[in-house]
Amino acid sequence: MKTHPSPAIPLWLKILYTAFMAVLIPVYWYHYGPTNFLYFCDIALLLTLVGIWLEQPLLISMPALGILMPQAFWGVDFVVQLTGNKMTGMTAYMFDKTKPLFLRGLSLFHGWLPFLLLFLVFKLGYDKRALKGWTASASGLCLAAFFLFPKAGETLPDPNLPRNINYVFGMDDAQPQTWMSAELYLVTWIALLIILVFIPTHFLLKKICPTPAQAAAKRA
């Protein structure tokens, strides 16, 4: 007689995460516009929302691979800004008093989402296809941000609208980098993401997490 694996993710967690997203999506849309959801971290939020209900390992593995390391970097930059110093400027918006405190508070998900994704990957297993899937998605998002959307430092009718999406013009939204040409920076940025972020995280998750089959077997 065949047995079906029991649900991996507690219902209360699914409901709590969905409730958070039900608040964040309309608030972000209102203040930042739809293009804000092209950031890696926001794509990760949306993939997680679908993946947590479907309990689909690939939909959880992709955002885990893509944002674990960048969000750790975001956390360090935030702490540096909190102490009154500046590292890259990528979290400067968290201290912009022209933005509502509630809006900035929602962005604290950058701090807890990596831990949630690690929990989910351990529960569902790490799908090794995530490397190809996230690399293709991230590269496409970077190209779109570079060619279609506002640059760093660009003056916009609404100052809250996103510019420099996924940092394709440098780490500081207020001004583009000047180390090299914009096109060379874009290519270098994508290459560095793949080599220094995605591939190492892929091998780490492969090493420490069960495969989807192993995770399912534990629940059977």
Quote the mean pLDDT of the chain: 91
pLDDT tens track for 118-142: 999 999 999 999 999 999 999 999 9
- Backbone dihedral region for residue 177 (phi beyond 0: left; psi -120 to 50: alpha; all else: beta): beta
Burial class of 35 by CB neighbour count within 10 A (0 to 12, 13 to 18, 19+):
middle
Q: Extract the tokens encoding 47.
A: 């993939």
Cα separation, 212 vs 192, whole angstroms: 28
Q: Extract the tokens encoding 123.
A: 């529960």
pTM confidence score = 0.90
DSSP state at residue 83: T
pLDDT tens track for 33-82: 999 999 999 999 999 999 999 999 999 999 999 999 999 888 888 889 88
Chain centroid to CA 129? 18
pLDDT tens track for 157-193: 887 889 999 999 998 788 888 899 999 999 999 999 9
Instruction: Give yes or no for a contact between 195 and 213, defined as CB atoms under 8 angstroms apart.
Output: no
